[in-house]
């Protein structure tokens, strides 16, 4: 019997071929996710029918029959309710959102002085954008201006009382101004404080370690609202008679301490992920403790924990809404006040939800972009 050698060896590298048209693009996604099986097809058809039934009603209520402008609440009430709309009218009332937009943004901050927070926001954006553009030089100077100089300028601009500016007490601050102030100052305080607590928890000195553990576990074991009530009600009782500070500062202390405890655990996770050889290598070079941590360990740990740190910062910004429970006039508090006067719950809280959604997405994208520029961190 004769044997035939059918072996064949390719002498040239085969070029990569694109996927077949049926396996890529919109058609492939629809076939895989929407009509991949009988069950998927039935669910897709039901979903289309439900959307086709609900969407026209939502559009009619939210846009077509909505009231966008008006001097007072009568524009959103029927004739039977003392308004101008015909009986049976049903539509969204965006008129009060338009009229009270300044209150959403600034609370009761004096109207003639609102240029001051607007100027702070412009300066913040003007200093931040160049740091996100790789080709712009002198990023070190930009960082100093943004993180050290701007907070001082912002403080004196917003509070006033110097350079001929009228003083505006924090009790008159409100809305988005308070939300952003609490968030950014809280982040700036809690991150370094959390890092110190994480180092203290891993310290070889028993007293330092014990104090760090007690603080972290105590704060993490109670809800934020309890911390806020403590700093708002109990903390002033421990101060000397006549010594007090306003609610905004109390809220800032509570939010910062609470966030620092969680930041500490995130940082500690990064410290534990660093191989022991890195610590030993730093010791072999004769580096002191703070040199070892600042030059060797913390930069590597920060890169490891950056995704978790990003999420924690966004969560902290969202949790700032809880300070409304101690009568700090942040965005949610202003929304509650407007809802109590207008009785338009959906429109009020829809605007607040939209603002928080935009803020959280923008903050996360900012942190992701900044992390890639500064650390090359694998955040997406």
**Predicted local distance difference test score (pLDDT) of residue 10:** 73
**Predicted local distance difference test score (pLDDT) of residue 73:** 77
State how far the Cα of 59 lies from the Cα of 150, in Å rounded to an integer: 44
The 10 Å CB-count burial string (b at 16+, else e) for 170-209 is: beebbbbbbbbbbbebbbebbbebbbbbbbbbeeeeeebe
Specify the DSSP class assigned to residue 111.
Answer: G
Domains and CATH numbers, the chain: 103-168 (no CATH), 174-371 (1.10.3720.10)
**Predicted local distance difference test score (pLDDT) of residue 14:** 74
State how far the Cα of 165 lies from the Cα of 338, in Å rounded to an integer: 29
Phi, psi of 9 (to 5 degrees): -120, 125
Residue 25 Rama label (left phi>0; alpha psi -120 to 50; beta): left
**Predicted local distance difference test score (pLDDT) of residue 5:** 61
**Would you list the DSSP string of 118-154?**
HHHHHHHHHHHHHHH-TT-S-HHHHHHIIIIIHHHHH
State how far the Cα of 289 lies from the Cα of 21, in Å rounded to an integer: 59
Q: Strand pairing partners for 175?
A: 330
- Show contacts of 226-233: CB within 8 Å, 24+ apart: 227/254, 227/257, 227/258, 228/254, 228/255, 228/322, 228/323, 228/325, 228/326, 229/325, 229/326, 230/254, 231/257, 232/326
**Predicted local distance difference test score (pLDDT) of residue 1:** 52
Q: Compute the Cα dihedral for 124, 130, 133, 139 and give only its sign.
A: negative
| Tens-binned pLDDT, residue by residue, of the chain (380 aa) | 556 666 667 777 777 777 777 777 787 888 888 888 888 899 999 999 999 999 999 999 888 888 888 877 778 888 887 888 888 888 888 888 888 889 999 999 999 999 999 999 999 999 888 888 878 888 788 888 888 899 999 999 999 988 889 999 998 999 999 999 999 999 999 999 999 999 999 998 999 999 999 999 999 999 999 999 998 888 888 888 777 778 899 999 999 999 999 999 999 999 999 999 998 999 898 899 899 999 999 999 999 999 899 999 999 999 999 999 998 999 999 999 988 888 888 889 999 999 999 999 999 988 888 887 777 645 55
**Predicted local distance difference test score (pLDDT) of residue 137:** 83
């Amino acid at each position: 019997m004769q044997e035939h050698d059918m072996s064949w060896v390719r002498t040239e590298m085969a070029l990569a071929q694109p996927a077949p048209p049926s396996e890529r693009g919109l058609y492939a996604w629809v076939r895989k996710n929407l009509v991949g099986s009988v069950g998927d097809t039935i669910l897709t058809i039901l979903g289309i029918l439900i959307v086709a039934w609900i969407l026209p009603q939502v559009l009619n209520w939210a846009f077509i029959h909505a009231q966008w402008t008006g001097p007072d609440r009568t524009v959103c009430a029927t004739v039977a309710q003392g308004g101008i709309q015909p009986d049976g009218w049903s539509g969204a009332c965006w008129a009060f959102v338009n009229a009270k937009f300044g209150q959403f943004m600034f609370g009761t901050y004096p109207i003639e002085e609102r240029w001051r927070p607007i100027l702070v926001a412009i300066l913040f954006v003007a200093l931040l954008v160049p740091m996100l553009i790789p080709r712009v030089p002198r990023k070190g100077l930009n960082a100093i201006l943004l993180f050290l100089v701007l907070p001082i300028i912002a403080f004196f601009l917003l509070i006033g009382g110097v350079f001929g500016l009228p003083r505006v007490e924090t009790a008159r601050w409100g809305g988005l101004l308070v939300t952003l102030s609490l968030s950014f100052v809280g982040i700036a305080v809690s991150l370094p404080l959390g890092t110190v607590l994480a180092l203290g928890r891993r310290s070889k000195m028993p007293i330092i370690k014990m104090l760090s553990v007690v603080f972290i576990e105590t704060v993490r074991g109670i809800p934020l609202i309890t911390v806020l009530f403590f700093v708002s009600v109990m903390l002033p009782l421990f101060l000397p008679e006549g010594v007090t500070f306003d609610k905004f500062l109390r809220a800032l202390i509570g939010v910062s301490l609470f966030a620092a405890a969680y930041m500490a655990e995130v940082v500690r996770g990064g410290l534990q992920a660093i191989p022991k050889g890195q610590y030993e290598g730093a010791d072999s070079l004769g580096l002191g403790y703070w040199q070892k941590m600042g030059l060797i360990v913390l930069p590597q740990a920060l890169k490891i924990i950056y995704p978790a740190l990003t999420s924690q910062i966004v969560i902290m910004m969202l949790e700032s809404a809880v300070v409304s429970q101690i009568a700090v006039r942040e965005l949610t508090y202003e929304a509650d006040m407007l809802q109590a006067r207008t009785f338009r719950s959906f429109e009020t809280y829809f605007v607040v939800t939209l603002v928080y959604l935009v803020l959280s997405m923008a903050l996360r994208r900012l942190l992701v972009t900044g992390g890639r520029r500064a650390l090359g961190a694998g955040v997406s």
